[in-house]
Amino acid sequence: MSEMKLLVVEDDRSVLNLIATTLKIHGYSFVTAMTGKEAVSLCASHHPDLILLDLGLPDMDGIDVIRTVRTWSGAMIIIISARGEDSDKILALDSGADDYITKPFSIDELLARIRAASRRMKFVETLNDENSVFINGDLKIDYASNLVYVKDKEIHLTPIEYKLLCLLARNAGKVLTHSYIIDKIWGSGVDTDIVSLRVYMTSLRKKIRGEEDFIRTHIGIGYQMIRK
Ligand code: CA
């Protein structure tokens, strides 16, 4: 776990200290930045695997930090922000963030999100190509034959449900916004609304739900496959 490198970007010293102390206690290695410029430069020099990013920074907006860093870095980005509006979260996620935590947050939640990010990181490293098999707990997708199994039992999905599942699986752990999903599944400019998406997702979830639920709903924002 401790081989993961983090970058913490936070201009509020008390919050920064809280996060830093928590990371230190749990053996994570990390660097910290209090401005957007510092964050971008540390990201370039230290190649962090995970960035914990505050959005309200003194010199530049966190959204611009995401956009800048995303042009060259594949680091996971978790937003930690007091901006609780859905539109803020959606903008951050669509700009390239992976997940978000709303302030005030609990230390347990922060640690859980970091562990989830670490699992996703390891998982992405083991991903091969289109022909590989996706396994997440009891869920298995055989991309070569387009077959889906839950606990070794074959699940019959419609083509749209299968595309939705594959999209979520390829981005396991990442929160995908409604507009992102609609664009990826139906293409841009297609008039598919969130209500239709919800109908497809409800049916998909029902079919693949075993003892555990694989898909988390972020009300007003989108969906996320939970990395088991
Ligand atoms: Ca701030």
What's the 56 CA to ligand 1 centre distance in angstroms?
Answer: 4
So what's the pLDDT on residue 1?
42
What's the 61 CA to ligand 1 centre distance in angstroms?
Answer: 9
164 and 144, same domain (yes or no): yes
pLDDT band for position 140 (cuts 50, 70, 90): very high
Q: How far apart are CA 226 and CA 169, in angstroms?
A: 9
Q: Domain total for the chain?
A: 2
Which of 4-18, 174-188, 207-221 shows the highest mean pLDDT? Answer: 4-18
91 and 195, same domain (yes or no): no
CATH number of the domain at 154, please: 1.10.10.10
83 and 190, same domain (yes or no): no
pLDDT band for position 222 (cuts 50, 70, 90): very high
What's the 57 CA to ligand 1 centre distance in angstroms?
Answer: 5
Higher pLDDT, 1 or 74: 74
Residue 39 burial class via C-beta count within 10 angstroms: exposed 0-12, middle 13-18, buried 19 and up: buried
What's the 222 CA to ligand 1 centre distance in angstroms?
Answer: 25
What's the 95 CA to ligand 1 centre distance in angstroms?
Answer: 18
Of 64, 90, 125, the last residue of a domain is 125
Query: Residue 201 sits in which domain range?
Result: 129-225
Region for residue 164 given its phi and psi (left: phi exceeds 0; alpha: psi -120 to 50; beta: otherwise): alpha
What's the 186 CA to ligand 1 centre distance in angstroms?
Answer: 37
pLDDT band for position 121 (cuts 50, 70, 90): confident
Cβ-proximal residues to 52 (8 Å cutoff; 6+ apart), any chain: 6, 7, 8, 9, 10, 19, 78, 80, 110, 114
What's the 80 CA to ligand 1 centre distance in angstroms?
Answer: 9
pTM for this predicted structure = 0.77
CATH number of the domain at 45, please: 3.40.50.2300
Q: How far apart are CA 211 and CA 197, in angstroms?
A: 24
Sequence letter at residue 133:
V
105 and 146, same domain (yes or no): no
97 and 157, same domain (yes or no): no
So what's the pLDDT on residue 189?
64
9 and 121, same domain (yes or no): yes
What's the 83 CA to ligand 1 centre distance in angstroms?
Answer: 10
